[in-house]
Structure 1
Amino acid sequence: MLRRTTTVPEVDSPIAGSAAVPTETATAGSPGTPDVPAPMTHRQVLRVLVGLLSAMFVAMLSSTIVSNALPRIVADLEGTESGFTWVVIATMLTMTASTPLWGKLADLVNQKLLLQVALVLFMLGSLAAGFAPSMGTLIAARAFQGIGVGGLTALVQIVIASMVSPRERGRYSGYIGAVFALATVSGPLIGGLIVDTPFLGWRWCFFVGVPIGVVAFVVLQRTLHLTHIKREAKVDYLGAILVASSVSILLAWVSLAGHDFAWLSAETAWMVGGGVLLLIATGIVEARTADPIVPLRLFADRTTVLATIASVMIGVAMFGSTVYLSQYFQIARGMSPTKAGMMSIFMVGGLMVSSLATGQIISRTGVWKRYLVAGGLLTTIGIALLSFIDAQTPLILVGLAMLVLGLGMGATMQNLVLAVQNSTALRDMGAVSSLVTFFRSMGGSVGIAVLGAVLGHRVADDVSAGLGALGVEGGGEQARTIPDPSTLAGPVRTVVENAYADASAHLFLIAVPFMVVALVCMVLIREVPLRTTVHRADEVEGAA
C-alpha cells in the first residue's frame, strides 16, 4: 500500500488544498469556473491571518479585559451578585444564539463582508457599554456586543477552514490559540491597570477595544480576498428565529431561577415549557427546510455528535468555573485587579505553549487524537486541583493548578473543532464550525449562570452564618452584595474571604463531572487521518 507524504511548504510554496484568493465572484457549477481553486502560498495565508487574528484578538479581549474589572464595575453601579453574572451572561447569551445564523450566512454570503459587519456591531456595543449609566444599560450593551463577538469567533474559524486543508490547519490553529492566550493574559492585565488608573476608570475597559476593532477592519479590507461562490439558496429566517428564541428563553431561565423566582414556580413552568416547545418546533422546521440553519444531517456523523456533547460539557466546566477566579483573587485573597490579572499568566502561559506545540506537531504528523485526549485529561486534572483551594492556599500551588488547566485547554479547544472540520464537506463548513462554537458557548452560558447562582447562594449562606456568629446585624443583606474587602473590619473581612474561597472551590468541584463526560467523548471519537485538501475526497471526485 502506497502512502503519500506531505512536506511543510516553504514561505512562498503553495499549500496543498488551500483555497485561492481572487476577488471575482463565481457561481457554483458555472462553465469555466473550477470548483477546486488554485492553492495559496504560505505567505498569502499569513497576510490574511493578520486580519483574521486581529478580529479574533479584539473579540477575546472584550471578554477578558473586564474580568478583573467586574467587581469594581458592579460596585460602582450598585449592582449585586446577580448583576455580576448577567454582565457576563448577556454577552454569552447573544453570542450563543446568533452563532448558528452567522455560520449559515458564511455558507451563503461573502465572508469578508460578514466579518466586517460583525466588527462594526462589536464596536457599537463597546461604545454603548462604555457610556452605560446603570447596570441595566450595561447589560443591554453587553448583549448587543455579544452579537458581534459571536460573528467574529465563528467566522474566523470558518474562513481559515475555507483557505487551508485540515492537515495544514493545525499550525494555523496554533496561531489562533496563541492569540487567544495573548488576549486572555493581556486582557486582565490591561483591565486591571485601567481600573487602577485614576484618570481612566473602568469605562475605558470598553473603549479600548474600539481602536483595535478599527485596525482589524482596515487590515481585513486590505488582505482578505476570498473567492465567493454564489449558491441558489435562501436563508432560513424562521429556523434562525426559533433557534435564537428557544436558546435565549432557556438560558434566561437558568440565569434568573433562584434569584428572581424559585426554581419550582409558575415562571419556571412557562419558561421551560416555552423553551422546550420552541426546540421541538425548531427540529420540525429544520427537518423540512431545504437549506436549514442547523442541517440535521450533520448529526449523522459520529465525530460531530461526540464533539458537540464534549463542547457543551467543556463550556459548563471550563467557562462556568474559571470566570469566577477574578472574584476569588480579589475578594478571597484581597488582590488588586492588576495583581489578579498577573495570576492569569499561569493558565494562559500553559494555553499558549500547548496550543502552539500541538498545532505544529499535528501539521507535521497528521496525528491528532492523542493530543486531544491528553488535553482533556489535563483540563480535568487542573479543574480537580482547583477544587481544593481556600483562602490560605499558597498562591504558587494555585498557579500550578492553573498551569495544568491551561496546558489542557490549549490542546483541547482548537483540536476539537479540527476533528469536526476534517470530516465535513466544504459546503457545510460554516454550519458545522459554528455548531461546535454554538454548543460550547451554550454550555459556557449555562455553566456561568448555574455556577453563578450556586456561588451566590453559597456565599450568602456562609456570610450570613459567619456574621451571625459575630453578632453583626443585617448580615443577610450584606451577603447579597459584592463587597470591597479593604473597607471591611478584620473579623468581618475574614468571614467574607473564607466564604468566597470556599464557594470558588465548590464551583470547581461541581465542574469536574462535566469535564469527565467531555473526556469520555474525546476518547470515543474515531481518529480519521487529516485530509490534505480543503475539499473532501468525494467533493474532489465530483469536481473532476
Structure 2
Amino acid sequence: MTGARAAVASSIPQPLSRARINVIFGTVVLGMLMAALDSTIVSTALPTIVADLGGAGHMAWVVTAYLVAEAIATALAGKFGDLFGRKLIFQLSGAIFILGSIIAGMAHGMELLIIARAIQGLGAGGLMVTSMALIADVIPLRERGQYQGALGAVFGVTTVVGPTLGGLFTDHLSWRWCFYVNVPIAVIMILVAARTIPVVRNAVQPLVDYLGIALIAIGVTCLILGLEWGGQEYAWGSAMIIGLFAAAVVALVAFVAVELRVEEPMLPMRLFRSNVFTICSILSFIVGFAMLGAMTYLPAFLQYVKGVSATASGVQTLPLVVGLFTTSILSGTIVGRTGRYKFFPIAGTAIMAVGLFLMSTMDASTGFWLQSLYMLILGLGIGLAMQVLTIAVQNSVPYSDLGTATSGVTFFRTIGSAFGTTVFGTLYSNQLGPHLSSALMAAKVPPEIAQNPQTLRALPPEQAAPIIDAYATSIDYVFRWVVPVAVLGFLIAWLLKEVPLRDSSRGEAKDIGEGWAVPDSPDPGVQMERAIVRVLRKLRDNAVPEPGILAAAGSSLGKDEAWALGQVRMYQRLRGSVTVSDIAKTHWVPPELVEPVFEKAQRDGLVRLDGADLALTERGLREVDAVQAAWKHWLENQLGDWDLTDPEERALFDQSIDSIATKLLDEADRPDALPARG
C-alpha cells in the first residue's frame, strides 16, 4: 500500500456545535447547488442565446465546455484539497465560479460565452468534490451518512430542474441572469465558509497525476472538437478533422501508458480487469450521453416546434424528471432488499431505446399528453439504469480502490454527457442547415427571424410552417440516430456480472444521492469507514451493546471511566498531551462538569497527572486497549460477509476499525451526564 493510500488525517477538526454544523452544511449545499444547476440551466435559454449572439453551430459547446472542464477539475480538486486544505479549495473554486459567471453574463459573442462556461466548469468541479469531502471532515461519524445522502440528492434534483429555472430567468428577466444569479450566492458562500469551515489537511500529501490528467483532457477535447467541427467548420475528410482525431488517439494511448506506470494514477488501469467496473463505466457513459443530450435539445424542440415559452419548455420536460426519480428510488429500494441489480441496467437501456425512438416521432401535431408520455418513458429508462451502476462498482472493487472507482464511474458519466451534447449538436446542426435554408427560401423570411423562437411564433402560419417542419425534422433525426446508442447499451448490459451485494452496498442502493454524487474522498480508509458506518446505521440504536462491550472486554470500568480513558488515549495519539480543560473545551462544557470523572479515574489508578497533563497508567492503558479490542471484535462479527483474506484489504480494514472504535469511544460512550456534541 502506498504512502498516500495509508494516509490518515493529521488533524481532526474540533467537535462543532450543532448550529455551526448546520451553517456549514447550508454553505456546502449552496456550492453543490450552483455547480449542479449550471450543467442544465442553460438548456432552455439556448434558443434565446443563439438569437442574441448567433453561432447556432456552436450551441452544443455552451454545455460541453462546462462538462469537460468540470470533469478535469473533479480529477484535480480532491488531490488539491488534500495538498492545500479543502476549505481553501472550496473558496477558490467558488471564486473561479464567480469569475466564469460574470464573464458569461456579460458575453456578447458565442466564443466568449464558451470560454466563460469552461471557467465556470473548473469552479463547479472543485465545488462538487470539496462539498462532499467537507461533509466527511466536519460531520460526526454517526450522522455523516444522512448528510452525504442529502447532498447527493440535492445534486440530483438541481441537475434535472435546471431547465425550468433557466426558462423562468429567460422569460421574465434575461438569459444572462442564468449566470448573474450565481454571483451573490457564491459571494455569500465564500464569506460564510471563511468564518465557519475548519481547516483540515492530510498528514501525507498525495501524489497528483498531472500528466495523466493533462493527457485525458487533451484527448477528450480533441475528440469533441473533431465531432463538433466535422461537417460544419471543416469537411470530415479535411486535414484539421483527421488531425484532431489522430491527436486524440495519441493522447489517449499515452494516457494509458502513463497510468500503467505512475504511483498514484488518476484512473488505475487495473480497475478494468473487473468486469463490473468496465461494463458499468460504459453504461454510465451511455446514460450520461442520453440524459444530457436529450435534456439539452428537448427545450429547443418545444420552443421552436411546439411554440411554447422558455419557462413552459422547462416545465414540459418535468415528465422526464418524474420518470427518472421514480425508477431511481424504486430500483434502489428493490436492490437494497434483494441484493440483485443486473436486471435494472438491462431494462433501463431497453426502455431508454424505446423512449428515444418514440421521441423521434414527435412533430408539431404531437399532443401534450403524448409527448409527456414519451418523455416519461425515457426518464423511467434512465432512472432504472443510472441508480445501480455506482452501487455495483462500489460493491465489486477492493476497498483500496473504492474512491478511485467511484470517481471513475462519475468521470465516465460526465464525459458521456459532454459527448452526448456534442453528438446531438453535430447531428442537429448538420441536418438543420440544409433543411432550414430550403424553408427560409420557401417562407421568404430572413434567417434572424427563424433563429428566435419568439419572432418565429409571430409569423403567419403559412410562413412559419416550413421553418417549424425543418426544426422538427432535424430534432427527430437526432433522437432517431441516438437510438442505436441505447440499443448498444442494452446489449452491453447483458455482459454485466452480478456480484452479491455487501451489506454496506445495500444501504447505499436505497439512497438516491449515491447514484448521483461524486465520492466524498478518494482516500480508501475514509471510504471503508463510511461503508462500515452504513452497516451500523441499519442497526437500531440500542443494537450497539455498550455495557456488553465492557463485559466482553473483561473490564470493570463503568461508562464514565471508559469514556474518560478513551478521551485521554485519543488525545495522546493525535496531539501527544491533553488536559482536563482541553477535553471540556472539545465538548463545549465547563471543566467542572468533567473533573469528577477524571478524579475518580485517578483514584482508581487509571490515569495520573504529569503536571497539568493527563496520562494513562499501565493499568489504564490495558483497560482502554481491551475495550477498543472488544469494539473491534463486535464490529468484525457484524461485517462477517466481507472477504478479508487479502493482506492489503485486511490492513485497510484493521485501520478503519481502529479509527471507528476510537471515534465511537468519543461519540457514543461519553457519560450520560455530558451533553452530546453541539
Q: Give the structure-2-normalised TM-score.
A: 0.66
The answer to which structure, 1 or 2, has the higher relative contact order (CA under 8 A, 6+ apart) is 1
Following the alignment from structure 1 to structure 2, what is the Cα–Cα distance between the partners of residues 415 and 221? 37
Provide the rounded CA distance (Å) in 1 between the counterparts of 2:445 and 2:312: 31
The corresponding residue for 1:96 is 71
Structure 2 counterpart of 1:491, from 462, 482, 493: 462
- Check whether the contact 2:10–2:202 (CA below 8 A) recurs between aligned residues: no
Which residue in the other structure is 1:231 paired with?
A: 204
Match of 1:500 in 2: 471
Q: What residue is the counterpart of 1:453 in the other structure?
A: 426
Match of 1:134 among 109, 118, 137: 109
- 8 A contact 2:236–2:242 mirrored in 1: no
Q: What is aligned with 1:241?
A: 214
Deviation at 1:127, TM superposition (A): 1.5
- Matching residue of 1:401: 374
Which of 321, 338, 352 is the aligned partner of 2:325? Answer: 352
Deviations 1:454-495 (A, max 9, x none): 112222222333455x3x5688x6799566412434323111
Alpha-carbon offset, residue 516 of structure 1 = 2.3
The letter of the residue matching 1:529 is L
Q: 1:417 to 1:102 in 2, by over 3 A?
A: farther
In the alignment, what sits opposite 2:50? 74
Residue among 138, 153, 174 paired with 1:201 = 174
The 5-angstrom pairing of residues 123-202 of structure 1 reads: 123-154=98-129, 173=149, 176-177=152-153, 179-185=155-161, 187-197=162-172, 200-202=173-175
Give me the whole-angstrom Cα distance separating, in 2, the residues matched to 1:373 and 1:169. 29
* Mean Cα deviation higher: 214-223 or 372-381: 214-223
Residues 261-276 of structure 1: pairs in structure 2 closer than 5 A:
261-276=234-249
Structure 1 unaligned runs (5+)? 1-25
CA contact (8 A) 1:119 1:152 kept: yes
Q: CA–CA distance in 1 between the matches of 2:368 and 2:169?
A: 24
The amino acid that maps onto 2:241 is: T
Amino acid at match of 2:70: M
Q: Deviations over 1:185-216 (max 9, x none)?
A: 2x33332222222xx32211111123333455
Give 1:534's aligned residue: 530
* Segment of structure 1 superposing worse, 520-529 or 278-287: 520-529
Equivalent residue runs for 1:14-25 within 5 Å: none
Mapping of 1:310-329 within 5 angstroms?
310-329=283-302
Q: 1:98 to 1:432 in 2, by over 3 A?
A: same
Letter of the structure 2 residue corresponding to residue 527 of structure 1: V
Deviation at 1:280, TM superposition (A): 1.9
Once the two structures are TM-superposed, the CA of residue 331 in structure 1 deviates from its matched residue by 0.4
Q: Supply the AA of the counterpart residue of 1:347.
A: L
* Cα separation, 2, equivalents of 1:530 and 1:518: 26
Residue 54 of structure 1: aligned partner: 30
Root mean square deviation, CA, Å: 3.9
Cα distance in 2, alignment partners of residues 333 and 284 from structure 1 = 50
Aligned to 1:464: 437
Q: Deviations over 1:226-272 (max 9, x none)?
A: 97543354212222222212221221221112111111101012212
2:228 pairs with 245, 255, 272, which one?
255
Distance 1:325 1:57, change over 3 A: same
Residue pairs, 1:343-382, within 5 angstroms: 343-360=316-333, 362-363=335-336, 366-382=339-355
Partners of 2:319 and 2:376 within 8 A in 1: yes
CA distance in 2, matches of 1:454, 1:307: 26
- Residue 9 of structure 1 corresponds to none
Q: Cα offset for 1:423? A: 3.1
What SS does the corresponding residue of 2:108 show, helix, strand or coil?
coil
State the secondary structure of the residue aligned to 2:498.
coil
Higher Cα Rg: structure 1 or 2?
Answer: 2
Q: Is the alpha carbon distance of 1:432 and 1:32 closer, same or farther for their aligned partners in structure 2, counting shifts above 3 Å? A: closer
Identity of aligned residues (%): 34
1:99-131 deviation line (CA, Å, top 9, x unaligned): 333355467664454444333322221121112
Give the drift of 1:362. 4.5
1:4 corresponds in structure 2 to: none
Q: Which amino acid aligns with 1:521?
A: I
CA gap 1:515/1:56 in 2 versus in 1, 3 angstroms: farther
The more displaced of 168-177 and 236-245 is: 168-177
Aligned residues: 509
Cα shift at 1:332: 0.6
Do the aligned partners of residues 155 and 31 (structure 1) sit closer, same or farther apart at CA in structure 2, a change above 3 Å counting?
A: closer
How far off its partner does 1:498 sit? 1.3
CA contact (8 A) 2:8 2:202 kept: no
